[in-house]
Chains A and B, each alone.
Chain A
Amino acid sequence: MSLNRRNLLKSTAALSAAAMMPKVLMADGHGPIKLGSVLDTSGGFDAYGRPMDMAMRLAVEEINTGGGLLGREVEVVAYDTQSDMALYTQYAQRLTRQDQVDVVHGGILSASREAIRQTLRRSETLYFYNVLYEGGVCDRNIFINGVTPAQQVEALVPHAMANSGPRVYVIAADYNYGHNTAGWIRHYVEANGGEIVGIDFLPLDVNDFGSTIASIQTASPDLVIAPLVGGAHLSFFRQWAASGMKDRIPLASTTMGVGNEHKVLTPEEGDGIMVAYNYSQELDTPNNTSFKERWTAAYGNTDDIHEIAVSNYQGVVTWAEAVRQAGSIDRMAIIEALETGLSIEGPAGTVTVDPQTHHAILDVHLMEIRDQGMQVIETLPQRQPVDVQAVCDLGANPDDNTQYEIEI
């Protein structure tokens, strides 16, 4: 193995040269098209990562069964980042330098995305981040198809307030996503004539909510909105029900169920929690039914399908569609194809690329947790990522490379 730096430099040079070649040469099929994936399929975040990995592989398999892309097969190069941020940068380097993949799908936490985004941008490797997140990333090399806080909250807050009352208490996970979401909740609560009576931020490892529940009762709100994240925070919903609060104050959340948490709660604990997402397994559309059938054929049952697994699936499908339209795997050609406002039909409905922000315009479904499922109450079609649009315009400023703090 003589992979020294000279060879590396040579091969990176060759790669960029290859990227500039006319597409005829590339389509000739020098082997498969390489899709790189970096996900935490073990360690603390694998409840998110494993189903995402399954979804990505399912999508690629379907592409290959359908004859591949541009007559070439798609090959998966996947690494398990073991919920370790340092491994993200390491594998991103390996994907771009050694494996020289044509596209990277992956990253779960915002920190993991920020850890690899610059590496991929610098090496001119197209990047898809398929997870709901706090919003604000503005970079022409990245495409994001998860819902942003505004998309969710804009739909959820009026609905939840209509079902309860104007006085709202927020308990949010103490990190960027939580802070941002809490900000948007405040914005939309006030826009709908309501009032925030209290905001608590709880670190991700807090699992005892006794004092929090007591202070919520002191404030006696009409509604509690809880953007809480992760296994420890699941305890809140449990303790909330155990203290008998569930029947007194309605609860809404922007995160509950993203990792299929609602399947862990009993119906008595979970029923009635209001949520708003892009996907629900209970979505009654032909697309979703067929997706669930294909998933079952591949993996035996549908237990693992969740919001961001479907996002990841839709991300791969969107990329494949763009490659077809571009007729090339050249990065700029694909970006331009995506920027035409390309849209696909995914299990969760229509997903359209927003050319201005590289985020997604998608359907948001208002749902209520019932019998460990998410019953769709109302579908709000094609919501714009208004929060990101407020700060990011890649059409006007294509060299932008920042994650904006969105002023609300």
Chain B
Amino acid sequence: MDLSFVILVEMLYAVATLVLISAGLAVVFGMMKVINLAHGEFMMMGGYATITAVNFGVNIFVAMLIIAPIAVGLIGLLVERLVIRHLYGRLIDTMLATWGLSLLFVGLATMIFGNTTTGISTPIPGFTVGNYQVNGYNFFIIVISIMLIAGMLAVLKGTRAGLIARGTMQRSDMASALGYSPDRIYMATFFCGSALSGLAGAVLAPLVGLVPTSGVAYIAKAFITVVAGGPALIAGLISSAASFGIINQVFAFAVSPVIGDVALFVTAIVLLRLMPQGITSRFFKGKL
């Protein structure tokens, strides 16, 4: 009984983590059809921003939820202006350029922070469920990702900016004909996407040892989650994160964490073979 509760929490946590690490990539891919392979490094920078801010005496929640997203968002803005905007419409080229950027950021972080592992401890204590101790921070991550999804929905559905963004997503030519500059919309989108990546990196920082190469661990999973999700931004994100997260944990508990990861990857292949355009190309069609 206690164990099944623990497993349930771990599953929810796995799904929430996938949502969190994929959100930034999903926004940028869904809106701009740009695959940002420097996404993992944006997360890494979010982590470093948090740790640096905490070391300067900032409250950890302020650092994670405000400082890190803004800092990474600004870096994203810079990247968009200098590199990405020259490459719109060239999917493969943007992938390659952002891949180069990811290497560049790893190098920069190494020069600034060194390659030693850094980290901060979790601000939330663990608690007891029957005979088991559960990491309290897991709940924090679950809550954050639910809030993230709710926030994205609210912005996209409820605000004018969201309406314009959705319009641009579907027909950027029409949006621009109506007088909305795609250039500025893309700029804003990339800022938001980067900020989300920064947030994810910041929120996960207390759970892991951070090194400049940490980003690599996330990018593949995020990439797979987003692509398997398909065209619908939020529905795709949730459906693929849920299927991958649950399968991953089932196998992790039943066999071992490695098999969990392998199961996730095998599922991805099978999913893409059956639904080459992603889950939401078959289900949840036309949803957000």
Q: Do A and B bind each other?
A: yes
Residues of A within 8 A of B (CB): 42-47, 50, 174, 200-203, 205-215, 217-218, 220, 231-235, 238-239, 241-245, 248, 259-261, 264-266, 268-269
Given contacts A242-B122, A243-B134, 12 further A-B contacts (CB under 8 A): A45-B115, A50-B114, A50-B115, A208-B257, A231-B214, A234-B119, A238-B207, A238-B208, A242-B206, A244-B126, A264-B118, A269-B121
Interface contact A235-B133, CB-CB below 8 Å: no
Q: How far is the CA of A44 from the CA of B217 in the complex (A)?
A: 13
In the complex, B209 has a CB within 8 A of chain A: yes
Interface string of B82-122 (1 = CB under 8 A from A): 00000000000000000000000000001000111111111
Interface contact A244-B128, CB-CB below 8 Å: yes
Interface contact A210-B117, CB-CB below 8 Å: no
Interface contact B121-A215, CB-CB below 8 Å: no
Interface string of B269-287 (1 = CB under 8 A from A): 0000000000000000000
Min distance, Cβ A375 to any Cβ of chain B, angstroms: 20
Task: Please give, as numbers and ranges, the residues of chain A lying within 8 Å of B209 by CB-CB distance.
Answer: 207, 231-235, 238, 261, 264
Task: Please give, as numbers and ranges, the residues of chain B lying within 8 Å of A268 by CB-CB distance.
Answer: 121
Interface contact A210-B13, CB-CB below 8 Å: yes
Task: Please give, as numbers and ranges, the residues of chain A lying within 8 Å of B120 by CB-CB distance.
Answer: 266
Interface contact B258-A174, CB-CB below 8 Å: yes
Task: Please give, as numbers and ranges, the residues of chain A lying within 8 Å of B134 by CB-CB distance.
Answer: 243
Interface contact A264-B116, CB-CB below 8 Å: yes
In the complex, B194 has a CB within 8 A of chain A: no
Chain A residue at minimum C-beta to C-beta distance from B117: A231
In the complex, B260 has a CB within 8 A of chain A: yes
Partner of B257, one of A47, A206, A242, A260: A206
Q: How far is the CA of A174 from the CA of B115 in the complex (A)?
A: 22
Contact A244-B115, Cβ < 8 Å, known A210-B138, A231-B209, A268-B121: no
Task: Please give, as numbers and ranges, the residues of chain B lying within 8 Å of A244 by CB-CB distance.
Answer: 125-128, 133, 135
Task: Please give, as numbers and ranges, the residues of chain A lying within 8 Å of B124 by CB-CB distance.
Answer: 242
In the complex, B132 has a CB within 8 A of chain A: yes
In the complex, B181 has a CB within 8 A of chain A: no
Min distance, Cβ A300 to any Cβ of chain B, angstroms: 14
Tell me the B203-258 residues at the A interface (CB within 8 Å).
206-211, 213-214, 217, 249, 252-253, 256-258
In the complex, B6 has a CB within 8 A of chain A: yes
Contact A47-B117, Cβ < 8 Å, known A234-B209, A243-B135: yes
Partner of B121, one of A212, A220, A232, A241: A241
The 8 closest A-B pairs by CB, nearest first: A244-B126, A234-B209, A243-B135, A243-B126, A242-B122, A211-B252, A231-B117, A231-B211
* Number of chain B interface residues as a range: 35 or more
Q: How far is the CA of A208 from the CA of B209 in the complex (A)?
A: 11
Task: Please give, as numbers and ranges, the residues of chain A lying within 8 Å of B260 by CB-CB distance.
Answer: 211
How many A-B pairs have beta carbons closer than 8 Å: the answer is 132
Interface contact B117-A242, CB-CB below 8 Å: no
Partner of A243, one of B115, B133, B253: B133
Q: How far is the CA of A210 from the CA of B210 in the complex (A)?
A: 18
Partner of B217, one of A201, A205, A248, A259: A205
Q: How far is the CA of A245 from the CA of B132 in the complex (A)?
A: 9
Q: How far is the CA of A47 from the CA of B116 in the complex (A)?
A: 5
Q: How far is the CA of A42 from the CA of B10 in the complex (A)?
A: 36
Interface contact B135-A264, CB-CB below 8 Å: no
Min distance, Cβ A59 to any Cβ of chain B, angstroms: 22
Min distance, Cβ B151 to any Cβ of chain A, angstroms: 25
Q: How far is the CA of A238 from the CA of B133 in the complex (A)?
A: 14
Interface contact A46-B257, CB-CB below 8 Å: no
Min distance, Cβ A217 to any Cβ of chain B, angstroms: 5
Min distance, Cβ B203 to any Cβ of chain A, angstroms: 13
Task: Please give, as numbers and ranges, the residues of chain B lying within 8 Å of A233 by CB-CB distance.
Answer: 209
Q: How far is the CA of A212 from the CA of B259 in the complex (A)?
A: 13
Interface contact B207-A239, CB-CB below 8 Å: yes
Partner of B135, one of A200, A210, A265: A210
Interface contact B253-A242, CB-CB below 8 Å: no
Interface contact A203-B258, CB-CB below 8 Å: yes
Interface contact B135-A211, CB-CB below 8 Å: no
Min distance, Cβ B206 to any Cβ of chain A, angstroms: 7
Contact A217-B131, Cβ < 8 Å, known A206-B257, A242-B137: yes
Task: Please give, as numbers and ranges, the residues of chain A lying within 8 Å of B118 by CB-CB distance.
Answer: 264
Chain B residue at minimum C-beta to C-beta distance from A218: B3
In the complex, B136 has a CB within 8 A of chain A: yes
Interface contact B117-A261, CB-CB below 8 Å: yes
Chain A residue at minimum C-beta to C-beta distance from B212: A44
Task: Please give, as numbers and ranges, the residues of chain B lying within 8 Å of A218 by CB-CB distance.
Answer: 3
Interface string of B1-42 (1 = CB under 8 A from A): 001001100100110010000000000000000000000000
Chain A residue at minimum C-beta to C-beta distance from B13: A210
Min distance, Cβ A137 to any Cβ of chain B, angstroms: 27
Most buried by A among B3, B133, B213: B133
Contact A47-B115, Cβ < 8 Å, known A238-B122, A241-B121, A242-B121: yes
Interface contact B119-A200, CB-CB below 8 Å: no
Chain A residue at minimum C-beta to C-beta distance from B138: A210
Partner of A238, one of B114, B119, B127, B132: B119
Q: How far is the CA of A207 from the CA of B121 in the complex (A)?
A: 15
Task: Please give, as numbers and ranges, the residues of chain A lying within 8 Å of B121 by CB-CB distance.
Answer: 238, 241-242, 265-266, 268-269
Partner of B10, one of A206, A211, A238: A211
Task: Please give, as numbers and ranges, the residues of chain A lying within 8 Å of B122 by CB-CB distance.
Answer: 238, 241-242
Interface contact A242-B110, CB-CB below 8 Å: no
Interface contact A215-B117, CB-CB below 8 Å: no
Task: Please give, as numbers and ranges, the residues of chain B lying within 8 Å of A220 by CB-CB distance.
Answer: 131
Q: How far is the CA of A200 from the CA of B10 in the complex (A)?
A: 18
Chain B residue at minimum C-beta to C-beta distance from A212: B257
11 chain-A/chain-B pairs, Cβ below 8 angstroms: A50-B115, A202-B256, A205-B217, A206-B257, A213-B135, A239-B135, A239-B207, A243-B133, A244-B126, A248-B133, A264-B117
